[in-house]
A and B are shown apart, each in its own frame.
Chain A
Amino acid sequence: DAGVIQSPRHEVTEMGQEVTLRCKPISGHNSLFWYRQTMMRGLELLIYFNNNVPIDDSGMPEDRFSAKMPNASFSTLKIQPSEPRDSAVYFCASSVTRGEQYFGPGTRLTVT
């Protein structure tokens, strides 16, 4: 089992650029979660999907952030335009409904 796959692992970009983070959940899992982790704010849930449908996006910081899940094996988190305060580690996790979540290795985003 490959686990949750995220790409890229590291991303360095300039302020104002568009950033796209990608996630492939574990096969058979029907729930997918995007988190952001920073020293200041800790671990924050941004959005989660169940059966490819966004269920709760109340954690998305602002309109610059958007997430999609076009099929059961792929999701993206997009930031447009990016700002230095978006610098963080972004984790994707997947689970079966109401099961334990399995986390991906994360994407470390640095916006200069």
Chain B
Amino acid sequence: AQSVSQHNHHVILSEAASLELGCNYSYGGTVNLFWYVQYPGQHLQLLLKYFSGDPLVKGIKGFEAEFIKSKFSFNLRKPSVQWSDTAEYFCAVMGANNLFFGTGTRLTVIP
């Protein structure tokens, strides 16, 4: 069965610190992976996606993620966070036609 695990529930960082949010998935078919961001009071927006090809995927706002098949992981990274990155981040894996979301990681960036 498909599932996504995000082990970090709440991460607090100072501005300019580096970020890495963990995501592990379980899925037996072709893997399509996503990271979504939800800013306070807003809807989910796509940050980046992996369908095939280069396992290092670059997204919007300086985010990137690396697909490591052997580790079933798709961790999100950003070298230097900003206060405006304060949000909730969701990892998701594509099933037959729907997304399976992780429980989300709340990121708080302190100015």
Contact = CB atoms under 8 A, between A and B. Distances in A.
Given A42-B104, A43-B90, A100-B34, A56 B46 contact: no
B97 A103 contact: no
- Chain B interface category by residue count: 10 to 19
Contacts, number: 41
By secondary structure, the A interface counts as strand
B67 interface: no
Interface of B: 32, 34, 36, 42-46, 49, 90, 94, 97-99, 101, 103-104
A76 interface: no
- Chain A interface category by residue count: 20 to 34
Nearest to A101: B99
A43 to B, nearest CB: 5
A103 B45 contact: yes
A38 B91 CA distance: 17
Nearest to B32: A98
